């Protein structure tokens, strides 16, 4: 298993942001943002990282990239999932983030191929929770995530960041919203990309992922006891960001 842990430790390149005062001289902390799918975790995490001059890591992209690999190899489709075949090939999977200044964040590369667009498609969304439930996959990716954040000054979003990856994080945020609101957001996003999906299909996918994420045996989605919960069902992106920035400032002050 040690070999598997080291298998995809790719080079992760992040931007050298020039943070605005007063954050430049403040003590760096670890910020963990967990929550359900389509709650806008990545959006606000990117905003926060840029504002503070922190590294941003989208752990969901990592699980999505492994899922894309499994789909391409036909290890997962419909009700079929050859977990053993995927586990056997984990040493062949190389993941890395490479910063793209045009978009302002690190994009996901799978075996040296940029797959940022491919991993966001509905087909990947349908299977990512099943792939993420495989203990060997989680162990491998959690180890890489912990390595990324050992120097602090990082904003990481996912499902188990505050409970498993960084249980000692100074600021933990748990984001939620109604399934209907999240499905509407996701449906709009997919439609704007040109994908032919229905709202009903997206809602069913959101509800299925909620069930799989919260009931899996290994690192289920749960709110950390010391996490601050934010229900953004009726919050604007600006309102959400300002609320989280207030939590950061309060954490630093304390």
Helix boundaries (H) for the chain: 2-6, 41-52, 59-72, 83-88, 122-132, 135-148, 179-192, 199-215, 237-253
Q: What is the pLDDT of residue 26?
A: 73
Per-residue pLDDT of 94-152, as tens digits, reads 999 998 888 878 899 999 999 999 999 999 999 999 999 999 999 999 999 999 999 99
Dihedral sign for Cα 93, 96, 102, 104, please: positive
User: What pLDDT shows up at residue 11?
Assistant: 43
Q: Residue 54 above 60 pLDDT?
A: yes
Q: In whole angstroms, how far apart are CA 31 and each of 41, 58, 149, 249? A: 12, 12, 10, 12
Task: Please tell me the distance from the alpha carbon of residue 77 to that of residue 45, in angstroms, as a whole number.
Answer: 31
For the purposes of burial, counting CB atoms within 10 Å of the CB of 28, is it exposed (0-12), middle (13-18) or buried (19 or more)?
Answer: middle
Measured distance CA(42)–CA(63) in Å, rounded:
14
177 has pLDDT over 90? yes
The pLDDT of residue 32 is: 98
What is the DSSP pairing of strand 171-176 with strand 105-110? unpaired
| Highest mean pLDDT (candidates 6-15, 100-109, 154-163) | 154-163
Q: What is the pLDDT of residue 95?
A: 94
List of domains in the chain? 2-15+29-253 (3.40.50.300)
Residue 210 has pLDDT above 90, yes or no: yes
pLDDT higher than 50, residue 17 = no
Supply the pLDDT for residue 101.
85
pTM assigned to the model? 0.83
């Amino acid at each position: 298993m040690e070999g598997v842990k080291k298998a995809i430790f790719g080079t992760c390149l992040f931007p050298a942001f020039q943070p605005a005062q007063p954050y430049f001289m403040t003590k760096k902390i670890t910020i963990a943002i967990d929550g359900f799918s389509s709650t806008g975790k990545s959006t606000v995490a990117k905003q926060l990282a840029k504002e503070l001059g922190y590294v941003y890591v989208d752990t969901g992209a990592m699980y999505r990239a492994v899922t894309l690999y499994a789909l391409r190899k036909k290890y997962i489709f419909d009700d079929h999932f050859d977990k053993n075949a995927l586990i056997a090939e984990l040493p062949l999977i190389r993941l890395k983030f490479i910063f793209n200044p045009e978009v302002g964040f690190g994009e996901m590369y799978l075996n040296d191929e940029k797959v940022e667009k491919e991993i966001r498609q509905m087909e990947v969304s349908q299977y990512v929770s099943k792939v993420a439930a495989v203990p060997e996959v989680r162990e491998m990716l959690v180890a890489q995530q912990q390595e990324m954040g050992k120097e602090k000054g990082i904003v990481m979003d996912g499902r188990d960041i505050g409970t498993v990856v960084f249980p000692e994080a100074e600021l933990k945020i748990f984001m939620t919203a109604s399934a209907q609101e999240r499905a509407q957001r996701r449906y709009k996003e997919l439609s704007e990309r040109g994908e032919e999906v229905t709202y009903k299909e997206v809602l069913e996918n959101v509800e299925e992922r909620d069930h799989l994420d919260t009931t899996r045996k290994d690192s289920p989605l749960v709110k950390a006891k010391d996490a601050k919960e934010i229900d953004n069902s009726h919050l604007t992106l600006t309102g959400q960001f300002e609320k989280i920035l207030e939590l950061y400032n309060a954490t630093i002050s304390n």
